[in-house]
Copies of this chain bind each other. A is one copy, B any other.
Amino acid sequence: MPTYKAPVDDVRFLLTDVLQVERYDNLAGFADASPDVVDAILGEGARLCEEVFTPTNQAGDREGCTRHPDGRVTTPTGFRDAYRAYVEGGWMGLSAPADHGGQGLPSYLNTVMQEFLSSANLALGMYPALTQGAVAALMIHGSDEQKRLYLPNMVSGRWTGTMNLTEPHCGTDLGLLTTKAVPDADGSYAITGTKIFISAGEHDLAENIIHLVLARIEGAPAGTKGISLFVVPKMLVGEDGSAGARNAVACGAIERKMGIHGNATCVMNYDGATGWLVGEAHRGLNAMFVMMNEARLAVGVQGLAQSEVAYQNAAAYAKERLQGRALTGAAEPSRPADPIIVHPDVRRNLMTIRAFNEGARALVLWTALAADVSHRSEDAAERQAADDRLGLLTPVVKGVLTDLGFENAVRAQQVLGGHGYIEEWGMSQFVRDARIAMIYEGANGVQAMDLVGRKLPRDAGRAVMAFFGEIEGFCRDNADDVMKPYVEPLAKGLGQLQGSTMWFMNNAFAKPDNAGAGAGEFMHLMGLVAMGYMWARMAKAALARRHEGDGVAARMDAKLVTGRFYMERMMPEAGALARRIEAGSDAVMGLPREMF
């Protein structure tokens, strides 16, 4: 059975040495996250994931969820107990405001926990992740009454949340949605329609499920400008906040999927269900975007998480499995063969995953910190800069980390050879589970278009210019010999990214297909450079500590080797991506439709 050990040391290195979070102690809640408190949280969180969540993961895949004839859905063996442990540990409200029952700690800690949970059991971790997204939407757009009725039980984890966007004929293009909302005399609405692909839509983990549902109020304009957001509880909630009668919403079926079998993906039928408007009428997409942006970051983290757990199991196998001899002569002549980790091709696979994992983790935490600053800083300029960075990096984190997270799960599976293909070994599940993250919360092609079509041009490119400026500044300030193996490839990659950005400016306005045809590559180019920047910062931090004892030196040396691997083996992709982007859209769009 696969195992998992949460990368606590790496997180601590990032928080303390690379991001130096103590610089932000002026932000609300940050001073409470003292090094001791953070250590305790990381330790307890790791324990929960390693000892409670991980053991339920494989059985969850094998059993899946079951929909009973009466519409009830039960989760796999062990999920209820594991979720209860999560709730009792107070994890759901880790970063939620104290006035809704949360602990008010920085949200980067919640992001760390999302990684650990998603490595340990992705399908189970989705239930709380969706709830936290729904909490965020209600916190910003809900009325005081809605907050009072729903948030305390959601923040505690007694109730969970969902987001209901997709319908059979519309996913990405929400303007097509037809679920309708008819106003009742009492100010509520009767919601009718069918939603599909609703993760955690029905289950047995919580007493109540709070659905956030996009629908069109009768008579509303067509398209996306006529969509409103509604809160539709599974059990109607009384004035005293208790769950009461059943609402007219039910799970009609659960899907048979490639992976995340432990998460119930439901067809939800709304049959005149009672719902209440959240935020303004016809402005539902705005409210939903709060939830989606939180969720996109969380989904990017899922990509990293699957890559990490797949890596750990592949590395363990590679150190144990004996097969063949090192090219440089037997490494363990007393044994019948060498462990396969002596083979350069096996190493190359492991190092590729490792260099991604550590770079991606840094990028995730840097982005999560931007979210904290954008929400909590009292300095408007600082808030704006952080919000710019958050907006720019969110599609990159979602798109790039899930594409590469999946690729790495496949790569790790390959290390096990034939055993990797057998379900018993667990690698197949990592691959199958990781696959969904490239699709949901906006397929990665949509993330790329969000980056290129919306985030790049916004405010005359202010966000991307600040991003370039920061990396240029870092390269300038670290032009010494010892940093050269990191800074030089980074600067080259940045130049290619800047060149491609300029190419879009010169070629995409007149011919928008040029932007569309290169968007996917641009997103990956930006991810490559962003992780490269993280690696340069990690190398700098590692160089500063490499002479310490207590195993620190060995860890810092490993960082430096892995950073060199990133620069030598991964950064070269930047040139190929730039050439593809700058080839434009002629060949991409040249084939008549009927020839496909």
Contact of A347 among B554, B580, B588 (CB under 8 A): B588
Contact of A166 among B406, B414, B418 (CB under 8 A): B418
Stretch touching chain B among A139-147, A253-261, A538-546: A253-261
Check if A234 is an interface residue, CB within 8 A of chain B: no
B-contact bits for A171-188, CB 8 A (1 contact / 0 none): 111011000000000000
B-contact bits for A566-595, CB 8 A (1 contact / 0 none): 001100110110011001011111111101
Are the CB atoms of A589 and B344 closer together than 8 Å?
yes
Nearest CB of chain B from residue A177's CB, rounded to whole Å? 11
Check if A289 is an interface residue, CB within 8 A of chain B: no
Check if A26 is an interface residue, CB within 8 A of chain B: no
Are the CB atoms of B197 and A418 closer together than 8 Å?
yes
Contact of A588 among B171, B173, B348, B435 (CB under 8 A): B348
Check if A44 is an interface residue, CB within 8 A of chain B: no
Are the CB atoms of B417 and A592 closer together than 8 Å?
no
How many chain copies does the complex carry? 2
Can you name 14 A-B pairs with beta carbons within 8 Å?
A171-B417, A172-B324, A173-B337, A255-B422, A255-B424, A344-B519, A351-B591, A414-B443, A414-B445, A418-B439, A421-B435, A565-B587, A572-B576, A573-B576
Check if A315 is an interface residue, CB within 8 A of chain B: yes
Q: Report chain B residues within 8 Å CB of A580.
A: 568-569, 572
Q: Report chain B residues within 8 Å CB of A517.
A: 344-345, 347-348
Check if A383 is an interface residue, CB within 8 A of chain B: no
Check if A469 is an interface residue, CB within 8 A of chain B: no
Within 8 A of B (CB), among A87-138: none
In the complex with contacts A573-B576, A580-B572, A587-B351, A554-B418 CB distance below 8 A: no
Are the CB atoms of A344 and B423 closer together than 8 Å?
no
How long is the Cα–Cα vector from A413 to B561 in the complex, in angstroms? 36
How long is the Cα–Cα vector from A572 to B589 in the complex, in angstroms? 19
Within 8 A of B (CB), among A517-545: 517, 519-520
Contact of A344 among B170, B414, B513 (CB under 8 A): B513
How long is the Cα–Cα vector from A534 to B564 in the complex, in angstroms? 36
Check if A438 is an interface residue, CB within 8 A of chain B: yes
Chain A, interface size category, equals 35 or more
Check if A229 is an interface residue, CB within 8 A of chain B: no
Are the CB atoms of A256 and B337 closer together than 8 Å?
no
Contact of A439 among B417, B555, B586 (CB under 8 A): B417
Q: Report chain B residues within 8 Å CB of A436.
A: 421
Q: Report chain B residues within 8 Å CB of A421.
A: 257-259, 435-436, 439
Q: Report chain B residues within 8 Å CB of A418.
A: 166, 171, 196-197, 439-440
How long is the Cα–Cα vector from A432 to B406 in the complex, in angstroms? 13
How long is the Cα–Cα vector from A4 to B196 in the complex, in angstroms? 27
How long is the Cα–Cα vector from A173 to B346 in the complex, in angstroms? 15
Contact of A445 among B170, B172, B346, B579 (CB under 8 A): B346
Within 8 A of B (CB), among A411-460: 413-414, 417-418, 420-424, 428, 431-432, 435-436, 438-440, 443-445, 448-449
In the complex with contacts A347-B589, A589-B344, A417-B435 CB distance below 8 A: no
Are the CB atoms of A176 and B345 closer together than 8 Å?
no
Check if A160 is an interface residue, CB within 8 A of chain B: no
Check if A268 is an interface residue, CB within 8 A of chain B: no
Check if A241 is an interface residue, CB within 8 A of chain B: no
B-contact bits for A334-373, CB 8 A (1 contact / 0 none): 0011010101111111110010000000000000000000
Are the CB atoms of B343 and A516 closer together than 8 Å?
yes
Nearest CB of chain B from residue A189's CB, rounded to whole Å? 24
Nearest CB of chain B from residue A226's CB, rounded to whole Å? 14
Check if A19 is an interface residue, CB within 8 A of chain B: no
Q: Report chain B residues within 8 Å CB of A592.
A: 554, 558
Check if A318 is an interface residue, CB within 8 A of chain B: yes
Are the CB atoms of A435 and B431 closer together than 8 Å?
yes
Check if A506 is an interface residue, CB within 8 A of chain B: no
